[in-house]
Structure 1
């Protein structure tokens, strides 16, 4: 029996993508400009976010490598045989399936597109040392160039089509928020409330995007001491009167992440907690007012730091004040060049999408103990910003149950 190293398994018809072909062609044209400027003849992308951004295909690795090869004339996803025709159906361009019959068929499939001796672009922030050695062994590149910083800068500027999708995501996040609010009662478990929000969002995504794949939408709903960290997993803790709560909804639509995050309390909020909460809300509103074209991430961060410092609260800040949105997730992708931190000098420009999310954490045993965080998504416009998050923040709406 002839068992090939790789082959094309174009099974079925191309799926309806979240973006039309022109959108992907524009992204690829921008990439090819980056390649030409750097003298790169072929890019070998290995990360979920880069592959999804340029092809629309979001892979499930399960211990196997995946790729996207872009040359001056080709864009080809590389996928494992276990996935059969799905990667081709979900890819903008061509697809090659590699087999398990011989080790490193993945690299033989890539070689069939790039050839030997080319100048190869790769993602230095993703390609492992082992796989970099394989790249050098199989492709024998004349030179390798880390293109990760350049393609991240490209992704930070959203097209109108991307902003339209992100806007849908923000609205879906609001749907999850309202479902969570309705599910909060004394005695309910974190997991029960979280599931209510997740189920509502998945149903809403399916209604808005009937041709999509549905995966990875989730909720972090935290209570009491569990609110102290932004990424604390859901537990089975039962809610009690006076608990501080952290509502966090995360719809995923075709690899695009959006979020809604709100501080809440069960039925009542004590005076010390209310004071901290109101101060964080004030910082949130102040921070949103600073998100304008021409302002740098570091400049905005220092101003919010000063706001908290004047109120003797800066010591309770735990991380940066916001980040970019687009093709990213809690387990893949991150546009680190657009985060509101002291060490990021990126200047805001129209078409960028960024959150404002100040958080204060007060340790257990102190008045107002818990984690306080508000989070809105804002599109940078020509003269300011547009807030696309609709769910209300603050004590007037979020003392519930």
Structure 2
């Protein structure tokens, strides 16, 4: 019987334009190689969508299969499944190996081919499952295994000028989605119909701005009434009613890069309780915006906004932290947890970081002003302050829909 290959090269077609130039990826890889050298590691076997995309430009679609990027001092190689054909080769910086389905665990055989056996290996503790970690040990037999997820995250937290330019485009397109949603809001409209208007507007804008890209994952959460109580509540077919509290959330995805616009609105004039809570959250938002600057510490910013809410007897209604980093992340992969505005994060802001300010209050059903209130802007930390790159207006003076 003919022996079938465990992995092969399938470099079908020419390389496609990536989100960034080769020099950007080489700079990122140089940073990772410094991390490896400082830790005494010979290779990194990265398996998360965010790190594979960050260091190679290839954003994989797992669908139950493992994918990865192996980086050594000499090379970087994406490892992809045969089901993807030549797309991973075309859409990655560096080399690519395709593993076959002819035998189980051919992914790890391909990884071993690049990383070698018996070497000191870096991996991602926050992504690799127990089962896959055991396979890494079985196939690569590393003499040492250490986590590189945290230092890689720290590298990703400071954006390059090229990344910031892409994030600016994402913020602009999020605003366009917001305006499309605002136009679609009407009594009797369904949440899903309003959401689709915003999503379609953003996808068209992304295709116009990035004609050589590949398009996936852009979405909208548009919530009304009780459904506003959670930031990530799915869209429903509920029809809008006059008096509803509304939550507009647009998320254009550009080559794995997430941006967002989030705004509170009402359909018709809000009652007094609703307006008071909304205005308090807007005031907290503006306080938070004023605190974003180089040298500020995440937990100290959090404490200032907590104190503001506590003085108004609203702190118990706070829903989550006050902001987070931007870059390669999504609702189903990636998160730069080291740069969140929370009590337990002591990271100091520095130029090149990109963070949101997004306070949210949730008032339980049955109480005056019930519902969820959230504003969200994106800020680029500069040498002497921060630049707000979100343009859509906020507050009751702008977002009461007649």
Q: After TM superposition, is the score higher than 0.5?
A: yes
In the other structure, the counterpart of 2:71 is 70
Secondary structure at the residue paired with 1:25? helix
Q: For this pair of structures, how many residues does the alignment match? A: 401
Describe how 1:2-401 pairs up with structure 2 within 5 A: 2-401=3-402
Secondary structure at the residue paired with 2:183? helix
Residues 282-327 of structure 1: CA deviation (Å, up to 9, x unaligned): 0000001000111110000000000011111111101000000000
Residues 77-133 of structure 1: CA deviation (Å, up to 9, x unaligned): 000000010001000010000000011111110111011111000000000111111
Q: Distance in 2 between the 1:40 and 1:221 partners?
A: 46
Secondary structure at the residue paired with 1:397? coil
Structure 2: runs of 5 or more not aligned: none
| Aligned-residue offset at 1:3 | 1.8
Q: Distance in 1 between the 2:198 and 2:401 partners?
A: 15
Q: Distance in 1 between the 2:3 and 2:165 partners?
A: 48
| Aligned-residue offset at 1:269 | 0.8
Q: Distance in 2 between the 1:165 and 1:80 partners?
A: 29
Q: Distance in 1 between the 2:96 and 2:230 partners?
A: 41
Secondary structure at the residue paired with 2:240? coil
Residues 9-33 of structure 1: CA deviation (Å, up to 9, x unaligned): 0000101111000000000001101
Secondary structure at the residue paired with 2:211? coil
Q: Distance in 2 between the 1:28 and 1:142 partners?
A: 23
Q: Distance in 2 between the 1:315 and 1:146 partners?
A: 37
Q: Distance in 1 between the 2:341 and 2:206 partners?
A: 29
Q: Distance in 2 between the 1:362 and 1:92 partners?
A: 48
Q: Distance in 1 between the 2:201 and 2:268 partners?
A: 23
Residues 310-369 of structure 1: CA deviation (Å, up to 9, x unaligned): 111111101000000000000000000000000000000000000000000001111000
Q: Distance in 2 between the 1:136 and 1:234 partners?
A: 43
Q: Distance in 2 between the 1:318 and 1:154 partners?
A: 29
Q: Distance in 2 between the 1:318 and 1:365 partners?
A: 18
Residues 192-219 of structure 1: CA deviation (Å, up to 9, x unaligned): 0000000000000000000111000000
Secondary structure at the residue paired with 2:29? helix
| Aligned-residue offset at 1:268 | 1.5
Q: Distance in 2 between the 1:169 and 1:10 partners?
A: 31
| Aligned-residue offset at 1:235 | 0.1
| Aligned-residue offset at 1:152 | 0.3
Q: Distance in 2 between the 1:257 and 1:322 partners?
A: 14
Residues 125-177 of structure 1: CA deviation (Å, up to 9, x unaligned): 00011111111110010100101110000000000000000000000000000
| Aligned-residue offset at 1:2 | 4.0
Q: Which runs of 4+ in 1 moved over 3 A?
A: none
| Aligned-residue offset at 1:44 | 0.2
Structure 1: runs of 5 or more not aligned: none
Secondary structure at the residue paired with 1:395? coil
Residues 225-283 of structure 1: CA deviation (Å, up to 9, x unaligned): 00000000000000000100000000000000000000000022111100000000000
Q: Distance in 1 between the 2:227 and 2:57 partners?
A: 36
Q: TM-score, normalised by structure 1?
A: 0.99
Q: Distance in 2 between the 1:317 and 1:191 partners?
A: 27
Q: Distance in 2 between the 1:282 and 1:226 partners?
A: 23
Q: Distance in 1 between the 2:46 and 2:115 partners?
A: 12
RMSD: 0.6
